[in-house]
Structure 1
Amino acid sequence: MKFGHDFKQSLASQGFPPHWVAHAIPYGQLKKCLKKVQRELQELGLDAETLRTLLDCDTDSPVALNYSLTASSNSTLVRPKLTVFIHLHDGNIVDASLTPTTRQFFEKISSGSVVSHPFNEKEAGLANISRLKATDKTADKTTDETTDETTDETTDKGTHNTTSAASQTEANHHEEDSYERIEVPLVFDSVFFDMLLSDVSNLDALQATEEDHLQEEVKELGKQVSQVSRPTRFSKSDMDRWRRIFELYLDAEIFFATHEREHGARSSQNALKQLQWFQGEVNKQQLVSSFKLPESRTAFSKFLELNLDLLKHLQFQELNVLAISKILKSMNHISPLQLLSPQIIS
């Protein structure tokens, strides 16, 4: 819970506006919801260790899992869905690797306690391909042995006996083996993703609003700079000083680098470093102190303020992205189902 404390402390101490803090990721609430997710899975017999075993492609288990996120038709929310494919032999699951609780759960849902959906033999093969291959080889071997034994008799009679034996083997196979597909509702998975997606949506809306506000301020600043740097014959102008300021600003590449060795968006730490370099160069060359017009000093102060606002936006965004990353990592630890990289189905 150390990150939760640090996250809360950072929101309170870094000077973010109150309405930003109100829209921050509710890390503590999401962590509490994860405990409910964990408890729900454990009650189903699907603890983290069991899930990892069932998700291991190298194990020959009669149970296969598929996890997906289904998009709701009338909203931006998604619905988690766990589909369980079960290979039954004489109506029972035989697997010593399953814990008693897990085996009891699968036997319960396969008996009809949870709505099941029959699926065709092709889908069954995809879900349990290793087991079916072994069964097919056994059937082929039985057929071959029967054919060898009857070859010593007449050809017609041997052919008839071979066909009968193969048919009987196939019938026994279908009587002994069956497949079921069961969809298991995960209530608190849904609650978790609803909460997380709602919070991310609120953050996106906040960012869009703040971007519109910044754009308006940039336009207004542009008008001010244009006014004080306009070249005239009979009045004072700070055009040369502003030209040099913008040259230094472009050289600083505060928020976005274009160098061959270093390119792309900068982190907030690197952006702060570049902004400090820019301010240092402006002061070193005494560009602000040599302004002829007081309006230029006001405009430059506003220019720095806008850059600090952009930096603050970047810091807030990084903090929330880190919180989301941490909470999803915790989700993966509690429920390895997330490691399936769930596909969103519309």
Structure 2
Amino acid sequence: MKFAKVLEQTLQEQDLPPEWIAAAIQYKVLKKCISKVVKELAFLGLSLADMKLLLRDEAQDKTVEMFHNEATPDNPIVAHYTLKKSKNNVVSYLKIVLNEKGDEQYSKDHIHMLAAEIRRKLASLVHSDDDEERHIIEVKEDDEQHLVLSPQRSHNNDEMEDIVRVENDNEIVVMLNSDLTFFKMLNSELQSLDDIRQKEEEFLLSQIDKLSDNVVALTKKRSDLYVWREFFRIYLDSEVFFRYNETSLLALERTGDQVKKNLAEFNSRVQKGQIIERLNKKTGVAACEQFMAMNMRLLKMLQFQAINATALKKILKKFDKQTSLNVSGRFPDLILKDHIFIHGSSLTQNICYMIQNKLLRLIPQIEDYTCPICMSVAFKPIRLSCSHIFCVRCLVKMKQRGKTDCPLCRLAHAIELADSSNLDVEALELIKKNFPIEVKEKLREIDKEKYGEVVNHKNCVIM
């Protein structure tokens, strides 16, 4: 199936907002522009094979790659195709060298004849005076839609005047109306996608703020606190958008298909855990549904970004295939700093970071406040000079056994030097507030030890 059809079906099947679909890269329209570019080149007498023979890649200072022995590597250069960034657009133009000196260096009769034909066609527009305007012409359609060469530019503006210049009388610059239209349209579409992304990011961040306020209010009741903790634990374990154990950003971010699968598994686990049914208030149910909807919308944006990135890559590749003008690498480099939708930081990365820091951390997970020795809540947490935290009971036992180094990093005398000032008061208050059941169980274990009862810690690493 052709990509234009794939793009159209994908945009419809993903059930995207109408304004997103309207802002998507118009692949079919851009293809028509490319066809017009080909016609304008043919009007100049330049076929695809001719372009491969004559065109210089200014960015790499070499001729375009040859195929099937079409030319030798040292074939003469008579044309340059340039892309330059203006303030708001990308300007493109074809520069033809009209100097006939050195024709004897042409190694092939075909190249000589081709160059002479182009010169004859263009030279009639170049007057003997030094008027630069006569050295810059445009291929465009007249009122009857016939292609003509005109010294009057339809894309004339101050930015173009500063960029497009003729260096000497032996050169003429040809502005192809259709490729100027192509890049202007593509640049405009990328700007529309930037606007969509910015609005969507603002919307999702506002949703996170609202949901955060709701969660704070909903977790005042202990039973709801534990339900929400389980809900967020399932979400973290599902690793919906990212693999948390990866160090490479490229490796840790998941594809749209993977995210879709992970969200389905997350919803399934929520249903099995009867999370929704265990919430007491309708507002709690609505908050859970809002959280799930927010993740689904982020998935849609991820898919939308992916299909447009593919559309951009393919339309530039098609432009090169049909014209040999080599823009696939140059155009993205020119607009790299201007368009965040395609080349900016990942929207999912930004939003997931905010979900993690402004929402999920409202309900701490027990693993973040577990003593590494007894593997239960670190009630009355002692922060050693090396910053590692343990419950006071385990450190007392360690010290009684003559073990005074940090159990994790082995910092010498870290336990021996700790005193009451090492009590992490902030962590203590957080633990008392968020883990009342675990604290109660810990105090029960301490009481049993005081009265000589044996406490069996299944996960204890020092008993």
TM-score w.r.t. the length of structure 1 is 0.71
Match of 1:30 in 2: 30
CA gap 1:319/1:339 in 2 versus in 1, 3 angstroms = closer
SS in 1 for 2:93: strand
Q: CA deviation at 1:192?
A: 0.4
Structure 1 runs not aligned, ≥5 long: 119-177
Q: How does 1:45-84 map to 2 (within 5 A)?
A: 45-54=45-54, 55-56=63-64, 58-72=72-86, 75-84=87-96
1:282 paired with 2:270, answer yes
Match of 2:372 in 1: none
Q: How does 1:1-346 map to 2 (within 5 A)?
A: 2-54=2-54, 55-56=63-64, 58-72=72-86, 75-85=87-97, 88-89=100-101, 94=106, 95-98=108-111, 100-109=113-122, 111=123, 113-114=125-126, 180-231=170-221, 237-260=223-246, 263-338=251-326, 341-342=329-330, 344=334
CA gap 1:25/1:114 in 2 versus in 1, 3 angstroms = farther
CA contact (8 A) 1:25 1:320 kept: yes
Cα-to-partner distance string for 1:223-257 (whole Å, 9 max, x where unaligned)? 111111125xxxx6411111122122122221222
State the superposition RMSD in angstroms: 3.1
Q: CA deviation at 1:222?
A: 1.2
CA contact (8 A) 2:246 2:252 kept: no
CA gap 1:179/1:63 in 2 versus in 1, 3 angstroms = farther
Q: Tell me which amino acid in the other structure corresponds to 2:14.
A: Q
CA gap 1:90/1:113 in 2 versus in 1, 3 angstroms = farther
CA contact (8 A) 1:85 1:182 kept: yes
Match of 1:169 in 2: none
CA contact (8 A) 1:34 1:192 kept: yes
Higher helix share: 1
Which structure ranks higher in relative contact order (CA pairs < 8 Å, sequence separation ≥ 6)? 1
Q: Which range moves more in the overlay, 92-101 or 180-189?
A: 92-101
CA gap 1:338/1:115 in 2 versus in 1, 3 angstroms = farther
Q: CA deviation at 1:91?
A: 6.7
CA contact (8 A) 1:45 1:102 kept: no
CA gap 1:292/1:341 in 2 versus in 1, 3 angstroms = closer
Structure 2 runs not aligned, ≥5 long: 55-62, 66-71, 131-167, 336-463
Aligned residues: percent identity?
A: 32
Q: Tell me which amino acid in the other structure corresponds to 1:226.
A: V
CA contact (8 A) 1:80 1:190 kept: yes
CA contact (8 A) 2:320 2:328 kept: no
CA gap 1:339/1:321 in 2 versus in 1, 3 angstroms = closer
- The number of aligned residues is 279
Cα-to-partner distance string for 1:6-58 (whole Å, 9 max, x where unaligned)? 22222233211112211121111111111101111111122211222233475
CA gap 1:213/1:260 in 2 versus in 1, 3 angstroms = closer
Q: CA deviation at 1:107?
A: 4.6
CA gap 1:252/1:86 in 2 versus in 1, 3 angstroms = farther
Cα-to-partner distance string for 1:50-107 (whole Å, 9 max, x where unaligned)? 22223347532232443322223xx411210223446633677844232845540135
SS in 2 for 1:310: helix
Write the distance in 2 (CA, Å) between the matches of 1:212 and 1:324.
25
SS in 1 for 2:252: strand
Write the distance in 1 (CA, Å) between the matches of 2:286 and 2:178.
54
Q: CA deviation at 1:180?
A: 4.0
